[in-house]
Amino acid sequence: MSGGRREGPNRVVPFIGFRISNVSDDSPAEPARMGLFSPGLYYITFAKGNNDMEAYYRPALPSSDSFDPTRFSSFVELQRPNVQGAVAAAGFTKADLAKWVIEGLIGPQQNVRQVPRILENPKARATFLEDGAQEALKVLEVPPADASLAEATLAQLAQELQRRLARLEWRDFQRMKSDPRGSCWNRLAA
What is the number of domains present in the chain? 1
Residue 178, domain member (yes or no): yes
**DSSP labels, 125-158:** HHHHHHH-HHHHHHHHHSPPTT--TTTS-HHHHH
**b (16+ CB within 10 A) / e for 169-180:** eeeeeeeeeeee
Q: Are 94 and 121 in contact (CB under 8 A)?
A: no
> What percentage of the chain reaches a pLDDT higher than 90?
29
Residue with the larger pLDDT of the pair 151 and 109: 109
Residue 181, domain member (yes or no): yes
Question: pLDDT tens digits, residue range 75-113?
Answer: 988 988 899 999 999 999 999 999 999 999 998 888 999
User: What is the reported pLDDT for 89?
Assistant: 94
| pLDDT range class, residue 19, cuts 50, 70, 90 | very low
Residue 92, domain member (yes or no): no
| pLDDT range class, residue 157, cuts 50, 70, 90 | confident
Q: Is the pLDDT of residue 120 over 50?
A: yes
> What 3-state class would DSSP assign to 2?
strand
What are the CA-CA distances from residue 88 to residues 110, 119, 129, 138, 184 (Å)?
19, 10, 16, 23, 46
> What 3-state class would DSSP assign to 46?
helix
Cα 156 to Cα 24: distance, rounded to the nearest angstrom:
40
Q: What's the rounded mean pLDDT across residues 122-143?
A: 89
| pLDDT range class, residue 23, cuts 50, 70, 90 | low
Residue 64, domain member (yes or no): no
Most confident of 22-26, 62-66, 119-123: 119-123
> What 3-state class would DSSP assign to 5?
strand
- Domain boundaries, position 154: 146-190
Q: Phi, psi (5° rounding) for residue 2?
A: -135, 135
Cβ within 8 Å of residue 120, ≥6 positions away: 86, 90
